[in-house]
Amino acid sequence: MKSGLYGFLFGMWGLIIIGGGIMVVLLGPFSIQQFGDFHWIISSGIKVTISLILVVIWILILSKLKNYIFKKELKF
């Protein structure tokens, strides 16, 4: 049971580090200049949308990983 739990924790931390890297490297320098004075509002909205989508994807991946580990450990 401990190896499954450690695998889940390792996967969770891996996704956190990968997600943080994506946010800093790809979304940080993203900007739009075509909309005049409102370019920072639009680019922030796009960044928020992408970030929320990534968070939902990470939660779904961790949920599937958790279900797989516990089904394997309980032998269902």
Residues 27-50 have pLDDT tens digits of 777 676 766 666 778 888 888 888
Helices in the chain by DSSP H: which ranges? 2-22, 39-74
Q: Is the pLDDT of residue 73 over 60?
A: yes
pLDDT grade, residue 1 (50/70/90)?
low
Contacts of 5 (CB under 8 A, 6+ apart): 69
How far is CA 45 from each of CA 20, 35, 36, 41, 64, rounded to the nearest angstrom? 18, 13, 15, 6, 29
Q: Whole-model pTM?
A: 0.66
Share of the chain above pLDDT 90, in %: 0
